[in-house]
Structure 1
Amino acid sequence: MKYCLECGRKLVLKVCGEEGEVPFCDECQVFRFPVFSTAISTAILNREKNKILLLQQSNRNDYTLLAGYVTKGEDAENTLVREVKEEVGLNIVSYEFMRSRYFARTNTLMLNYLSIADSEIVPGLNAEVEKAVWFSFDDALKNIKEKSLAKIFLSAIIDRVSMRRESLRFPEK
């Protein structure tokens, strides 16, 4: 960040305690820490935990996990429930945070969740989603977009679910 988001003045580097040098606005007298977006992604499982719902977005050929941006004033868990309802019409009955990764291409911190849907019947898709398909774990790995953050998240989730299938417990939302 080179300019202040509030006043537009050019930022200068200034020592900020243990943070080291941080962009500072002389006009606003405020440190301007890096700004980035935050989003959730989720692998949606059926209640039996043996199928994963993957989405094909409009005008795309690859399958991916459901994802969406966290809006101002919203926490990640509310975003998860809202995005699943908006994009595929399903209700989430439980979820568990898995991991986070920074996605440089869109300057986004991705918060990944494993979630359980109330049904395998997808009531409706919004305009962003072309198709939603339930896959077995093996087929999901074959169909998800190659070399993507979604594939990294999916692989970790499948490993976890496969190792702990009987003992896997999710906190209620």
Structure 2
Amino acid sequence: METAEEQLIGPLLLARGTIDRSATLRADEAWLERAWADPATRVLVVDNGRTLVRRSGDEVHAVLLTTIDAPPGERYLLGVADGVAYFAVAAPLPGMPNGEVGGEVNGRLSSVMSLRDAPDGQAVPAGLRQAGALLGDRDAGLLVYAVALEAWHTTHDFCPRCGTRTEVRAGGHIRVCPQDSSQHFPRVDPAVIMLIRDADDRCLLARGPQWPEGRLSILAGFVEPGESLEGAVIREVAEEVGIAVANPRYLGSQPWPFPRSLMLGFFAEALTTDLTPDAEEIAEARWFSREELAEALASGEVRLPPAVSIARRLIETWYGRPLEGDW
């Protein structure tokens, strides 16, 4: 029987995609052109990690365009579902000046309105942090996929071997150098994120120097070359707060395309409890019992990561139920 520690409380909100990624179709240029010409095909426009969304009552949906209405830009095949092909296009969001985000005034998007304030049916630009937890499974999956591809493409215009400008191929999943024919694939950076508990079942929370006081989360760090995930958990905790941990146990993963991470969630047991934070990475670190965390949340002394993050799910799994209040 699974214990509460072995099963996350609540879904990982950026790991809910339902689209068949249709990898076998990416290299079929004729199919890609037919799909783009199909009136049923839908396009998600993404610009610097944002897309257009609409609120309808309690639901939020991504704005999906026909290919005729989509602006010009790099195309990425996201997949197929129920016979409908879905693409992303990296381009300025329709109806809005470059660099602005917001609502709509006199039929034109402005930079003053948030998703929460937007009237029903009105298109509003939003990123994954704002809309990821509100979108349905299909749209959340489409957006996280599109954001990840866009982030990679914007930093890989040129061949790392010879500096020649690369070309987009395979439905946006490869860049090819026309000079030396080298192929370059989207990069994913694995990172471990871990909830550490001590012998008294207290949870360790910390904040980075760049965060305001009260904004706390669990520890995390990138996996180094030639390192196991479990080894990364043990090393990162020792480096960041100076304690030894054991028995890392994997609970789940979700993409975190800011810009290209894959977060791998763990619980681990503290063998020591005297904290010596690395000042360059950790501004403060504290142990919390469940009662102490509840009191700190109620008073506003502590704010937790948003529900869209795996950090929040790990904290709530340790706590035993969903918690209120976030960044």
TM-score calculated relative to the size of structure 2 = 0.43
5+ residue gaps, structure 1: 161-173
Structure 2 counterpart of 1:71: 224
Match of 2:203 among 32, 35, 52: 52
Residues 13-24 of structure 1 aligned to structure 2 (within 5 Å): 13-15=168-170, 22-24=174-176
Offset at residue 35 of structure 1 (A): 1.3
Residue aligned with 1:29, SS: coil
Q: Conserved in 2, the CA contact under 8 Å of 1:97 and 1:114?
A: yes
- Partner AA of 1:67 in structure 2: A
Shift in alpha-carbon separation, 1:97–1:25, aligned structure 2, 3 A: same
Shift in alpha-carbon separation, 1:146–1:13, aligned structure 2, 3 A: closer
TM-score calculated relative to the size of structure 1 = 0.75
Higher radius of gyration, 1 or 2:
2
- Partner AA of 1:53 in structure 2: L
- Cα-to-partner distance string for 1:124-156 (whole Å, 9 max, x where unaligned): 111121211111236547335341622133224
Aligned residues: 155
Shift in alpha-carbon separation, 1:138–1:104, aligned structure 2, 3 A: farther
Q: Distance in 2 between matches of 1:28 and 1:155?
A: 50
Q: Distance in 2 between matches of 1:31 and 1:10?
A: 12
Q: Conserved in 2, the CA contact under 8 Å of 1:47 and 1:119?
A: no
Shift in alpha-carbon separation, 1:41–1:21, aligned structure 2, 3 A: closer
- Cα-to-partner distance string for 1:97-116 (whole Å, 9 max, x where unaligned): 11111112232111111111
Shift in alpha-carbon separation, 1:47–1:6, aligned structure 2, 3 A: farther
Shift in alpha-carbon separation, 1:31–1:53, aligned structure 2, 3 A: same
Structure 2 counterpart of 1:130: 283
Shift in alpha-carbon separation, 1:106–1:23, aligned structure 2, 3 A: closer
RMSD: 2.5
Q: Conserved in 1, the CA contact under 8 Å of 2:193 and 2:264?
A: yes
Q: Conserved in 1, the CA contact under 8 Å of 2:173 and 2:186?
A: no
Higher strand share: 1
Offset at residue 22 of structure 1 (A): 2.7
Q: Distance in 2 between matches of 1:120 and 1:37?
A: 30
Q: Conserved in 2, the CA contact under 8 Å of 1:54 and 1:144?
A: no
Identity rate, percent:
25
Higher relative contact order (CA 8 A, sep 6+): 1
Residue aligned with 1:120, SS: coil
- Cα-to-partner distance string for 1:9-66 (whole Å, 9 max, x where unaligned): 2223444xxx996322233433211013221110001124x21000122242211111
Q: Distance in 1 between matches of 2:158 and 2:183?
A: 11
Q: Conserved in 1, the CA contact under 8 Å of 2:253 and 2:265?
A: yes
Shift in alpha-carbon separation, 1:140–1:37, aligned structure 2, 3 A: farther
Residue aligned with 1:80, SS: helix
5+ residue gaps, structure 2: 1-152, 322-327
